[in-house]
Amino acid sequence: MSHQQDLKDSNQRFLWRWWISTPLTIMNPTFPPGVTLSASMKAMSMISKHGVIQYTTENKETCARFQQQCSQNAICSDYATGYCCHCQSGFYGNGRHCLPEGAPQRVSGKMSGTVTVGSTPVELNNIDLHAYVVVGDGRAYTAISEVPEPVGWALMPLAPIGELFGWLFALELPNSQAGFKITGAEFTRRAEVIFYPGNQRLSITQTGRGLDDHNHLTVDTVVSGSVPFLPPGAEVTMDPFKETYQYYPSVATSTSVREYSVVSAERGSESFSFQLKQNITYRDCRHDNRATTLETLQITMERVFVMYVKEERILRYAITNKISPVGAEITRPELVNPCYAGTHDCDTTAQCIPQEGQAFQCQCATGYRGDGRNCYDIDECSSSPCHISARCINGLGSFQCQCQPGFYGDGFYCSQQGVPVAPTQRPESVCERWKASLIEHYGGKPESQQYVPQCDPDGEFSPVQCYGETTYCWCVDQDGREGPWHPITQCSLPSVAPPTVRPLPRPSVTPPTNTDITLLYAQGQKIGALPLKGTKLDASESKTLLTLHGSIVVGIAYDCKENRVYWTDLSARTINRASMEPGAEPEILINTNLVSPEGLAVDVKRRRMFWVDSNPDMIETANLDGSGRRTLFDTDLVNPRAIIVVSSTGTLYWTDWNREAPKIESSTVDGQNRKVVVSDGIGLPNALTYDSSSGQVCWADAGTKRLECVSPDGSGRKVIHSSLNYPFSMVYYKNHFYYTDWRRDGVIAVSKDSSQFTDEYLPDQRSHLYGIAIATSQCL
C-alpha cells in the first residue's frame, strides 16, 4: 500500500472514530434542487462507511446541465467526474456563492431555543442575531438582541457563537483560506460545549441558508441545553487563543478547551473552562482533484471581547481572527507582508494582494473603482441597466432594479400585465443624503482616510461607523447620533433594536466661564467649547456648549457683536443660531430649499451671513435673522466647501473641491468682481481662514497635506506646513492656526512662526470634528 493511500485510510479512520464518538451528526449529502437521482446514480453517489463521498463518471453532472447552480459571479468547469463552480476574479467563495473580495460582510438571522441557567429554563423565540465583519483585518462583531436575564449574563462565555463568522471571513495568512471559500453560504455547524467544573452541556446548531437580496449571509442559530449561572453585572474576559481545524471532504472539525475568567462583586475573580467540539458540514466539490485529502489550518483569535448590556438586552461578541497553517507564527511582524499582518493601507473595499517581500498591491473590490487605497462606489445605474419602466437603485458595490409602481417583474424586465402594484419607494434617508453629499463633496472619489457614512439597506445609519481605512471607528444609533456610553464592542449591529431610550438633556447653551477666547468646534450632534490660555489649548476647561440630538453640525460661525453662535445642520437641512448666554435655546433661521448646507460665515459689520450648499452647488446669503435671502452664485461651482468673509474689506473667499480643477475664489460680499485666487498646486482645499496680521488668505489642503497662505492678488504664496494629517476646518489667532483634523479626531495647533505643531486637543468622545470658529468676549 502506498504511503499516500495509507495516510488517506488513516485519516478516514480518524474521521470515523471521531464521528461515532460524538453526539453530533454530519449532514447527509445534498444535491441541486430539482435533481432526481436514479437508483443507479444514488448507489454510485453515496456516503461510504468512512463518510467520504464517492463519485463515478456514469451520469455525471455537467456544466451544460447545472450551470445555474453556480453563482452569477462564477464560472463552471467540467471535470472527468463532474463539474465544479469557481468564483471569477475579484470574487471569492466556493463557486456556488461568491462575494466581492475585500468588501465588509454582514450576517443576519434568528436565534431560538431553550437555555437552562442553573435550574431556570429560558425560551429564546426567534430573536435577532446580526454580525458585521471587516474582512481586511478579520474583525467580527456579533450582536444578539432581546436576550433576557439571566441568559444574557450566562451566555457571555459563549464566544463560539460569534466565532463562526470569524472563521468564515478570517484574515488569510499565506497558504490558507477562510471558511467561506470552502462552504459558501450554505452549511451546517454543530457544536457542543461542556462547562467545567459543573458539566453543564449546551448544543449550538448554526445553519447557513444562502445570501439575501443584499448579498448578506443568512444564518439561523438554535441553542439547547444548560449553562452555568453568572451573577448580574459580572464581567467575562477571555485571553487570545488558537484552534486547529481538520478538513475532510465536506466537513471541517475541531476540538479545543477554552479558559475564561469571571469577575463579580459577589465572588471576586474566578476561573472556569469549557470544552468545544464542533463540525461544519457543507457541499464540497472534489472533481478538480486540487483539494488534498486532509488539510489542517489554525485560527488565531485575538482581542476577544464579550459583553451583555442589561439595559438594551443585547449580547455582544467581538473577535479578531487570522487563519494560517499550523505553526505559522508571526514572531517578527515587521518581516511579514502587510497583507498578512493586517498593517496594509488598502481601502476597506479593496483586496490586499501580497507580492515579494514587503511589497503589496491594493485592488478595489468588484463594484468599486480606484487605486486600491482609495476606492469609491461605481454608479452602475449611469449605463442604465434596468428596464425603461424600472428604477435603478445604486448601492455599495452593486445595484438593484425595481419596477415602477403599476409594473411588475424583476426590474430588468417590467410588465403591466396582471398588475400587482410595486410598493412606492421610500424617501431618501438622512444617512443616504449625507453619504451622497459627502461623496459629491469628495468629488465622487473618497480617499481611504475620508469618512463616508455607512447606511444599512433601510437607510438607517450602520451602528459601526469607521474611517475609510477603519483605523478609527465609533458607535451611533439608527439616526447617526453618537453615544458616549458605547465603546466599540457595544455597538448595535444592522437591524438590531436601537438602544433603550434615555432622558435627553435639554438643548440649551452651557457657555464656558471666565474665558476671553474660546474655540468652538462642531462634532456631529454637539458644539464643543475649548478655551485658550494665551495660544495654548486648555483641555481641562473644555465642555459641551450645546447638545443637538439628531443633528449633524458641519459649518460654524460666531457673531461677536451679539455673542451668538451660528451653524449649519446637514441632517435637518437647516441654518440655526443660539445666544451664548446660559440656558439659551437654538433658533431655526432657514429651513427651506437647503440640501447640503456646509460652510458658513458671518459678516459682523454688515450683519449678514453666507453659506455654501454643496449639493445644488450654490453660494447664498441672508440677513442674520434669515430674512433677505438671495443667491450669489449658482454657476461654475462643482464642490464648494469652506467660506469666509473679511468684514474689514467686504470680501468673500471660498474653496471648490472640483477634482478636475480645484480652486479658491473671491468676490465682494455683494457678489461682484468674482475671480480665482489660487488654482495651481492644490488638491482638496478644505479649510479656509484669514490672517489679519499679514492680510493673507490661508488654507489647509486635505489632498496636498499642506497649509499655505497667499495674498488676495495671488502673490506672496508660502507654505506654512507641508505634512498635515487630514484638515477639515481652520481659524487663525495670534500667529497660530487651529484646525480640526479627521485623522486625529481633534483640534491641532500650528505656529505660523515656527511652522511646527504646538498643541492638540482630543475629545474623550472620538469622532469627526467639522467646523471651527473663535468666540471672543469682544470683537477683535
pLDDT at position 712 over 90: yes
CA angle 463, 468, 473 (to 5 degrees): 40
CATH fold, domain 10-30+39-329, is Green Fluorescent Protein (2.40.155)
Predicted confidence band of residue 391 (pLDDT cuts 50, 70, 90): confident
Residue range 476-518, pLDDT digits in tens: 766 666 544 333 344 543 333 333 333 344 567 887 766 789 9
Tell me the one-letter amino acid at 585.
E
Judged by average pLDDT, the poorest of 318-332, 469-483, 536-550, 649-663 is 469-483
Cα distance between residue 558 and residue 774, in whole Å = 7
Query: Domain 517-776 - what CATH class?
Result: mainly beta
pLDDT computed for residue 184 by the predictor? 93
Residue range 432-478, pLDDT digits in tens: 767 776 666 566 666 665 667 777 766 777 777 765 554 455 667 66
pLDDT at position 139 over 50: yes
**Between the CA of residue 111 and those of 115, 318, 457, what are the distances in Å?**
12, 18, 21
Tell me the one-letter amino acid at 333.
P
CA angle 179, 182, 183 (to 5 degrees): 85
Cα distance between residue 648 and residue 692, in whole Å = 10
Is 218 within 8 Å of 185 (Cβ atoms)? yes
Percent of the chain with pLDDT over 90: 38
Beta strands 574-579 and 564-569 are antiparallel
pLDDT computed for residue 151 by the predictor? 93
Average pLDDT of the chain is 79
Percent of the chain with pLDDT over 70: 75
Q: Residue 441: what are its φ and ψ, rounded to 5°?
A: -60, -35
Predicted confidence band of residue 429 (pLDDT cuts 50, 70, 90): low
At 9 the three-state DSSP class reads helix
Q: For the CA atoms of 732, 734, 740, 746, what is the dihedral angle to 10 degrees?
A: -170
Predicted confidence band of residue 16 (pLDDT cuts 50, 70, 90): very low
- Picking from 425, 403, 422, 423, the residue whose alpha carbon sits closest to that of residue 414 is 403
Residue range 314-371, pLDDT digits in tens: 898 988 888 988 866 555 555 677 776 667 777 766 777 777 778 888 877 666 677 8
Residue range 291-312, pLDDT digits in tens: 444 588 999 887 788 889 888 7
**Between the CA of residue 20 and those of 237, 247, 293, 526, 668, what are the distances in Å?**
34, 17, 20, 61, 86
pLDDT computed for residue 399 by the predictor? 63
Cα distance between residue 517 and residue 733, in whole Å = 10
User: How far apart are the two ends of the chain, measured CA to CA in Å?
Assistant: 94
H/E run at residue 430: helix 430-441
Based on C-alpha coordinates, what's the Rg of the chain? 30
Beta strands 608-613 and 618-623 are antiparallel
Query: What is the number of alpha carbons within 13 Å of residue 284 lying toward its C-beta?
Result: 25
Cα distance between residue 430 and residue 453, in whole Å = 10
**Between the CA of residue 50 and those of 14, 21, 24, 412, what are the distances in Å?**
9, 14, 16, 48
Q: How many CB atoms lie within 10 A of CB 713?
A: 9
The domain locations on the chain are: 10-30+39-329, 449-502, 517-776
Judged by average pLDDT, the poorest of 417-426, 509-518, 523-532, 554-563 is 417-426
Cα distance between residue 721 and residue 739, in whole Å = 12
Beta strands 685-691 and 696-701 are antiparallel
- Picking from 213, 216, 2, 27, the residue whose alpha carbon sits closest to that of residue 103 is 216
Question: Would you state the cell numbers that stand for residue 24, as one nine-digit string?
Answer: 453530533
Cα distance between residue 587 and residue 148, in whole Å = 42
- Picking from 217, 105, 213, the residue whose alpha carbon sits closest to that of residue 169 is 105
Which comes out higher in pLDDT, residue 159 or 406? 159
Q: Which residues neighbour 230 within 8 Å (Cβ) at sequence distance 6 or greater?
A: 150, 153, 154, 156, 236, 262, 264
Which comes out higher in pLDDT, residue 114 or 81? 114
- Concatenated DSSP letters for 444-470? T---TTS----B-TTSPBPSEEE-TT-
Q: For the CA atoms of 305, 306, 312, 313, what is the dihedral angle to 10 degrees?
A: 160
pLDDT computed for residue 47 by the predictor? 32
Query: Domain 449-502 - what CATH class?
Result: few secondary structures
Q: Which residues neighbour 506 within 8 Å (Cβ) at sequence distance 6 or greater?
A: 585
CB-based burial of residue 443 (10 Å sphere; 0-12 exposed, 13-18 middle, 19+ buried)? buried
Q: Residue 90: what are its φ and ψ, rounded to 5°?
A: 95, -5
Cα distance between residue 568 and residue 555, in whole Å = 5
Determine the average pLDDT of the residues in 675-685.
93
Tell me the one-letter amino acid at 304.
V
pLDDT at position 75 over 70: yes
Cα distance between residue 474 and residue 36, in whole Å = 52
pLDDT at position 22 over 80: no
157-190: burial string, b at 16+ Cβ within 10 Å, e else: bbbbbbbbbbbbbbbbbeebebbbbbbbbbbbbb
Query: What is the number of alpha carbons within 13 Å of residue 211 lying toward its C-beta?
Result: 19
Which comes out higher in pLDDT, residue 562 or 139? 562
Same fold, 10-30+39-329 and 449-502: no
Residue keyed to cell 453526539: 23
Beta strands 217-227 and 105-117 are parallel
**Between the CA of residue 193 and those of 96, 149, 252, 274, 308, what are the distances in Å?**
31, 20, 17, 6, 20
- Picking from 462, 479, 458, the residue whose alpha carbon sits closest to that of residue 470 is 462
